[in-house]
A and B are shown apart, each in its own frame.
Chain A
Amino acid sequence: MGWVTNGDDRDTTIGELAELAAPFDALYASLWTQSHVPADVLELCRLRLAQLHRCAVELQRQEIAIPAGKTAHLAHWDTGSLFSPAERACLAFTEVYAMDVQALTDQHADAVKMHFGDAGLVLLVEALGILDGMTRLSLLWQLAAAPTQPPGQLL
């Protein structure tokens, strides 16, 4: 259980304020059904954010099923050929976004646009804003990871 509410996860914590939970849920759901960036690419970016924030509860979350080989090697996406050029462009953008958004360059953006266009870049930064924010809140709310699903291999 976190300290902000009696809820023990993100949904029940945000659910404390139903007037905002419904529009937030609708926006969050729309990220995974839009047509500009594949949902599995977004999921890789979400998991990479969780790794960089060392957030166990967000590493346990699964929005989209990702092959185990990819999750196991996600921290080393830039070596080998397991990840596609499009995935690599988005993961490179995600890493800089997470560390210092001011350090993003036109080259980072162009690499994403090469695969997904202007709209794909916009969707990616919109999604990263939401995913980064939720990861930070999971940490700040001190939500606990489920004990039966150790996230160690991803950390």
Chain B
Amino acid sequence: MTGGPRAVNPNNPSGNMIRDSALGLVPETLDYYAALNRKIWECGPLTPSEIEIARLRNARTVNCVFCKSVRYDIAKADGLSEDKVAMIQDDFRGSDLSKREKLIVAFTDQFLANPRGLTEQLKTELLAEFTSKALVHLSLVVAHFSGFSRCAVSLGGMPDELPIMEISLPQ
């Protein structure tokens, strides 16, 4: 990890995680970014715990320490336990995750590692499990959180480790 952050938001903290981050330096996109983030959590067919599984798998692969340490309270309220989070590992296929949850992890991995290499088998399994709307939702979830975690890594100042932090959806 690097030393200090590469961009700093000098404004007084507002208590809003997104607005207080370096993203607050770009007000022209900030409200749109925050609005999309809320809609992703609240307006798609995937449940909060399913969204959190994809988000945490991405965080683990991109190795965003901050993203890995966060747990959204709405996902925990939806039933996502630390035991389940612990199953989102390299050997997730042999875990007790449900078939649907394993497909969410597999889709996330495909996006991150080899988006042009989708197999017919995985495509068939995804189409059998998810509606078109759910697949679009899952796609935007993974793209959104991939961008967010890469943004955090790019801007530096990431510690080597952080404790688990439960947060609410930023307003």
A33 to B75 CA separation, bound complex (whole angstroms): 35
Indicate whether A129 sits within 8 Å of B39 (C-beta atoms), given known contacts A137-B139, A140-B110: no
- Chain B residues with CB under 8 Å of chain A are 2-3, 6-8, 22-23, 25-26, 28-29, 32-33, 35-36, 39-40, 43-44, 62-63, 110-112, 115-116, 118, 123, 127, 132-133, 135-137, 139-140, 142-144, 146-148, 150-151, 153-156
Identify which of B6, B26, B115, B143 gathers the most chain A CB atoms within 10 Å of its CB. Answer: B26
Q: Is the CB of A121 within 8 A of B146?
A: no
A125 to B150 CA separation, bound complex (whole angstroms): 8
Q: Is the CB of B136 within 8 A of A34?
A: no
By a CB distance below 8 angstroms, the chain A residues around B151 are: 125-126, 128-129
A33 to B154 CA separation, bound complex (whole angstroms): 23
Q: Give the Cβ gap from A16 to chain B, nearest Cβ, in Å.
A: 5
A22 to B115 CA separation, bound complex (whole angstroms): 25
Q: Is the CB of A4 within 8 A of B29?
A: no
By a CB distance below 8 angstroms, the chain B residues around A137 are: 111, 115, 139, 143
Q: Is the CB of B135 within 8 A of A4?
A: yes
By a CB distance below 8 angstroms, the chain A residues around B36 are: 20, 23-24, 26-27
By a CB distance below 8 angstroms, the chain A residues around B144 are: 133
Q: Is the CB of A14 within 8 A of B140?
A: yes
Q: Is the CB of B111 within 8 A of A97?
A: no
* Chain A residue, CB-CB nearest to B143: A133
By a CB distance below 8 angstroms, the chain B residues around A36 are: 26, 28
Q: Select A122's contact among B2, B3, B7, B116, beta carbons within 8 Å.
A: B7
A141 to B126 CA separation, bound complex (whole angstroms): 12
* Chain A residue, CB-CB nearest to B146: A133
Q: Is the CB of A139 within 8 A of B154?
A: no
B-contact 0/1 string along A40-81, CB 8 Å cutoff: 000000000000011100000000000000000000000000
A19 to B7 CA separation, bound complex (whole angstroms): 32
Q: Is the CB of B156 within 8 A of A14?
A: no
Chain A to chain B contacts (Cβ below 8 Å), 30 pairs: A4-B132, A13-B136, A17-B137, A20-B39, A20-B43, A27-B36, A36-B26, A36-B28, A101-B153, A101-B154, A102-B153, A106-B3, A118-B6, A118-B8, A118-B22, A118-B25, A121-B6, A122-B22, A123-B26, A123-B29, A129-B148, A132-B150, A133-B143, A133-B144, A133-B146, A136-B112, A139-B115, A139-B116, A140-B111, A140-B139
